[in-house]
Structure 1
Amino acid sequence: MTRTRALLATLAAGALLVLTGCTVPGFLQPERDRSEPTGETVGAELEPFYSQVLEWERCGEFQCATATAPLDWSDPAAGEIELALIRQAARGGGDPIGSLLVNPGGPGVSGYDFIAESLDFAVGPRLQERYDVVGFDPRGVSRSTPVTCHDDEEMDEYLYGIVDAERGSDEWIAEVGASATEFGAACAERTGELLGNVDTVSAARDLDLLRAVLGDDELHYLGYSYGTLLGATYAGLYPEKAGRLVLDGAIDPSSSAREVVREQSIGFEAALRAYLADCLGGPECPFTGSVEDAEAEVSRLLASVERSPLRGSDGRYLGANALIWGIIWPLYSPAAWSYLDDMFESLMFGDADFALALADGYHDRDPDGTYLDNSNEAFAAVNCLDYTVDADPESMRRDAAELAEAAPIIGPYFGFGDIGCSVWPVPSEAERVPIAAEGAPPILVVGTTGDPATPYKWAVALAEQLDSGVLVSYDGEGHTAYNKSNACVDDTVEAFLLEGEVPEEDPRC
């Protein structure tokens, strides 16, 4: 449903921004190699988890530890899973405010890697001075006990395989459904009981466990994209333990799966139009004429590879789905729009490699064909538990037609997303409802007016749902707003996290 701010960090590492998370300055705080739990009273079945002492070890320039959590929070005695943590100790001397847990989104993205590889992109220097910055892999993700499904070759076929039938036809739905069924069966076989316990509510309960074993009476938290849903869910479950929560690139917890897809289709289409307008104003744009002319050319390219996929130099084929991923990835950040110039120009000459490379970036696939993590598997597993779907083909066709009308370029290829979860081996029982978090202190909700992945209206909705929600609007393009060179947003977020200052009204940055 959403991807993540970590995509932006990956693009930034490609020379868009300077990231220094792997080149930490020499001054470090003296080692604090143990985290003592808060000692709060919990039920007997949870006491072994809440009383554990974290032992921190050096891992490069950071400290790392592993916590254990119940496999199934409804039955804590049923087994355990591991949660991987990474920490940058507060750099400013004296007593830190506490831990600042950071989630980059996804679902399914490694918060561990986010801190290890792009600390300065994740959190500004003023926060690094006063907080122990903690990244973590949620349950099912990467270094924590993971969801495991396909090997690399199988994943290539699942993501990039070409369906030789008309999109939306009975034959096409059957073939896509068979592929999704095979994928889900592999996940169930290789993951086991965990597959039914990677929902966001379970991850939010893990978040409270981490708060306690880190020794913090309140949770201080910075969540991006899907991380806003995780943070809001936490506030709804534990309003009395919420500290300073910032939710940037907000998701509306009450939105259904189809509402999410519709709004994202519209959002990415708007971002594509903004890119094309910017491109046509430059000297090296591969398009000519008006924005409408350029949009028509993008539609033509998509229709062309849908009919006749282009073969890449590695033997894979570029179909419309892969091209959509290649288009979407750079739309997360205006700083990456120039990649689209090169991609579209290469496509016009029949070269699929640049588009495949961008699609690979979206899916964390290395040029040698290996997948760098399990984000694709975890993404599917979490979403299929968090959202209910409608498996009726006629209903899906109606929705697809509405998407194509709402977003004529992107929409035709965003339809039929319910197929995968309709055959998932663990049925969802989730209800999409507003979250009020009554009794929680002020919660900052940050929204970007031109955000394609988490549309601004979701931030408005979440701020209104939360009893103590405070909206911070950024008038701009791209996914998320904090720590991306806007002083108004940065100052507002950091004054809140550092001093507890709450803006009297939306600053409209």
Structure 2
Amino acid sequence: MRPAPVRHRRRPSALVAAVLGVAAVVLGACAQVVPGVAVPDPAAAAPPGLERFYGQQLAWGPCVPFAATDEDRQIYADPALQCARLEVPLDYARPDERTGTIAVLRHAAPASPERIGSLVINPGGPGASGVQTAAYLSTSLAQTDVGRRFDVVGFDPRGVGASEPAIRCLEPAERDADRRDDDTDASPAGVAQTEAEERRTAELCAERSGLDLLANAGTRDVARDMDVLRAALGDPRLTYLGYSYGTRIGSTYAEQFPANVRAMVLDGALDPDQDPTTELIEQGRGFQGAFDAFARDCASRPNCPLGQDPARTTQAYQQLTRPLIDAPLPLPDGRVLSYADAQQGTINALYVETYWPRLVRALNDLRAGQGGALMTLADEYYERNRDGSYASSQDAFEVVRCADDPRVTDPAQSLARAEAYNEAAPFLDSGRGVSSARDSCAFWPTPPTSQPHVPQVPGLAPPLVVSTTGDPATPYQAGVELARALNGSLLTKVGDEHTAVFQSSPCVDDIATRYLVDGTPAPPGATCPAS
């Protein structure tokens, strides 16, 4: 089977947990903005030709027009939330030509001499909505020292969510069909079919999104947009919280604008110098570790669908899921649970330990011939709505990945990558052999705009990097490498979840808050226990 990258994002369940109860952290640090003292004009150092973008004033208004779901509409109706559109050039090399708009949401801090500025948040993906994240997270932060000192601001990166123009690749029926196809046929005919589908996906992305958006949708340009946002918010320097893939936005911004950084918390890090093949294999190893931790816990309970022998849980999982390759399970809504969806639903539940009971129930249902619970987990991962529509996140993930990463165009390299992935994550091994099929990026019509490298960040204010020991999506060592590359402090969180800041760990939240408010780094060797 051809391995597919998993999106680097903060899990929606983590947002819910944050809304329900982030520990309030009250600090007595000195404010960073002193009344009566002049501060630099945030737009004064605009790059030549970009002055009108850097000098724009945001017109704040209601947020409901940015909502994509009924649940979002309820949250966005909160009068404490304000939304606006930020105009940016689609191509920074041609700022006088076509422009786009970035959707922005803020929850303003109370008017006070202690207000520091804005805390800009990105939840990862690529393709996740920062507007949605800020709306949910600001509720829990409002009564904390962070919410009292900072406007909490989220933005949808270019092409994502409510930003315009939108990235569009597959229509809902096409996405459903893509999910039904598990690509387990490793024969020459199967490889040819898979590559034809991948080539068609690249063509559809170009047709429906436009080559100009595809050519400029990568992290390089998202970081440029974030500096325009900083200026429009009135902040001389950026204070930023990036989760998962959002750490790549952060490290890219730090390299492009090191003097414009006030503080950065980077949680669930991607190693900026790691090639995408190594990253994929390490991610597979991380999810295998998360699966093993889930399976050990499951095997200690009498209702475990994988049995009571931890040494045989991978085999038991394979025996449950592999029959779906030949016989997908019919569902009441007319769809079927495919092998690929069973895997994706499982992966979704491995992001956070609080989802493990759901996975136990879903696998027990599968053993009984029912696939609805596992399909619901897969639908949540793909952000499929009740009406059958999808959020733009999966399309955006495809486009940004192909804009950022070097391409694998050699079938032999693709085959070797698939073999290494199966070794790293045997619970995802289909048992049908591995395919040399190349993914859509091999057929992409525009060149990549980034390459793996160690960022050069002279004069950067040292960031705080948070890395979790058993993180399934972004392995712990990547955080170690990012902290080293950016000369930042490292906070280790013990646990198996993906990302940790403002997610029910008072220890993590205290250190992150002190850093954001007054720049206090994590102490050497700082470690927070499992929540």
TM-score by length of 2: 0.87
Cα distance in 2, alignment partners of residues 507 and 463 from structure 1: 13
Aligned-pair CA distance for 1:152: 1.2
Q: Which residue of 1 aligns with 2:43?
A: 39
Cα distance in 2, alignment partners of residues 198 and 74 from structure 1: 14
**Cα shift readout 1:136-194 (whole Å, capped 9, x = no counterpart):** 0011101111101222112211233355xx53322222222222222222221121111
Aligned-pair CA distance for 1:276: 0.9
Question: Aligned pair in 2 of structure 1 residues 329, 416: CA closer, same or farther (>3 Å)?
Answer: farther
Matched, 1:405 2:405: no
Aligned-pair CA distance for 1:464: 1.2
Matched, 1:508 2:512: no
Contact 1:37–1:51 (Cα < 8 Å) also in 2: no
Determine which of 191, 200, 204 is the counterpart of 1:186: 204
Contact 1:231–1:245 (Cα < 8 Å) also in 2: yes
Matched, 1:175 2:193: yes
**Cα shift readout 1:430-479 (whole Å, capped 9, x = no counterpart):** 3111124121011111100000001001001111111x211111111100
Matched, 1:147 2:167: yes
Matched, 1:270 2:270: no
Question: Superposed, which structure 2 residues align to 1:189-208 within 5 Å?
Answer: 189-192=207-210, 193-208=212-227
Matched, 1:391 2:409: yes
Question: Superposed, which structure 2 residues align to 1:351-430 within 5 Å?
Answer: 351-371=370-390, 373-410=391-428, 418-430=438-450
Q: Which residue of 1 aligns with 2:67?
A: none
Question: Aligned pair in 2 of structure 1 residues 320, 241: CA closer, same or farther (>3 Å)?
Answer: same
List alignment gaps of at least 5 residues for structure 2.
Answer: 23-39, 64-76
Question: Aligned pair in 2 of structure 1 residues 352, 232: CA closer, same or farther (>3 Å)?
Answer: same
Determine which of 435, 449, 461 is the counterpart of 2:481: 461
Q: Which residue of 2 aligns with 1:30?
A: none
Equivalent position SS for 2:207: helix
Equivalent position SS for 2:469: strand
Matched, 1:247 2:251: no
Cα distance in 1, alignment partners of residues 437 and 56 from structure 2: 41
Q: Which residue of 1 aligns with 2:341?
A: 322
**Cα shift readout 1:364-407 (whole Å, capped 9, x = no counterpart):** 00233121x20011110000111112222232222211221222
Equivalent position SS for 2:104: strand
Aligned-pair CA distance for 1:12: 5.9
Equivalent position SS for 1:63: strand
Aligned-pair CA distance for 1:200: 0.3
Aligned-pair CA distance for 1:196: 1.1
Aligned-pair CA distance for 1:18: 5.1
Pairs aligned (count): 488
Contact 2:41–2:234 (Cα < 8 Å) also in 1: yes
Question: Aligned pair in 2 of structure 1 residues 411, 252: CA closer, same or farther (>3 Å)?
Answer: farther
| Greater length-normalized contact order (CA 8 Å, ≥ 6 residues apart) | 2
Determine which of 440, 453, 466 is the counterpart of 1:446: 466
Contact 2:263–2:519 (Cα < 8 Å) also in 1: yes
Q: Which residue of 1 aligns with 2:324?
A: 305
Cα distance in 2, alignment partners of residues 402 and 271 from structure 1: 18
Contact 2:345–2:381 (Cα < 8 Å) also in 1: yes
Cα distance in 1, alignment partners of residues 307 and 227 from structure 2: 54
Equivalent position SS for 1:503: coil
Cα distance in 2, alignment partners of residues 12 and 204 from structure 1: 24
Contact 2:141–2:147 (Cα < 8 Å) also in 1: no
**Cα shift readout 1:320-366 (whole Å, capped 9, x = no counterpart):** 22111110101110011111111110111121222111111100002
Q: Which residue of 2 aligns with 1:238?
A: 257
Question: Aligned pair in 2 of structure 1 residues 417, 281: CA closer, same or farther (>3 Å)?
Answer: farther
Contact 2:182–2:325 (Cα < 8 Å) also in 1: no
Q: Which residue of 2 aligns with 1:349?
A: 368
**Cα shift readout 1:233-292 (whole Å, capped 9, x = no counterpart):** 100111111111000000001111111110110000100110011112234322322112
Q: Which amino acid aligns with 2:441?
A: C
Cα distance in 1, alignment partners of residues 41 and 362 from structure 2: 51
- Once the two structures are overlaid, the 10-residue window that deviates more, 480-489 or 404-413, is 404-413
Contact 2:15–2:136 (Cα < 8 Å) also in 1: no
Cα distance in 2, alignment partners of residues 93 and 340 from structure 1: 46
Matched, 1:125 2:144: yes
- Once the two structures are overlaid, the 10-residue window that deviates more, 288-297 or 326-335, is 288-297
Q: Which residue of 2 aligns with 1:290?
A: 309
**Cα shift readout 1:201-240 (whole Å, capped 9, x = no counterpart):** 1000111111011111110000000000000110011111
- Once the two structures are overlaid, the 10-residue window that deviates more, 44-53 or 278-287, is 278-287
Determine which of 106, 111, 114 is the counterpart of 2:133: 114
Contact 2:126–2:396 (Cα < 8 Å) also in 1: yes
Q: Which residue of 2 aligns with 1:156?
A: 176
Question: Aligned pair in 2 of structure 1 residues 230, 121: CA closer, same or farther (>3 Å)?
Answer: farther
Q: Which amino acid aligns with 1:189?
A: E
List alignment gaps of at least 5 residues for structure 1.
Answer: 22-35
Matched, 1:90 2:94: no
Cα distance in 2, alignment partners of residues 406 and 391 from structure 1: 22
Cα distance in 1, alignment partners of residues 480 and 315 from structure 2: 32
Contact 2:408–2:441 (Cα < 8 Å) also in 1: no
Q: Which residue of 1 aligns with 2:83?
A: 64
Q: Which amino acid aligns with 2:117?
A: G
Cα distance in 2, alignment partners of residues 429 and 465 from structure 1: 20
Question: Aligned pair in 2 of structure 1 residues 133, 418: CA closer, same or farther (>3 Å)?
Answer: farther
- Once the two structures are overlaid, the 10-residue window that deviates more, 117-126 or 58-67, is 117-126
Equivalent position SS for 1:440: coil
Q: Which amino acid aligns with 2:330?
A: R
Cα distance in 2, alignment partners of residues 100 and 234 from structure 1: 15
Q: Which residue of 2 aligns with 1:498?
A: 517
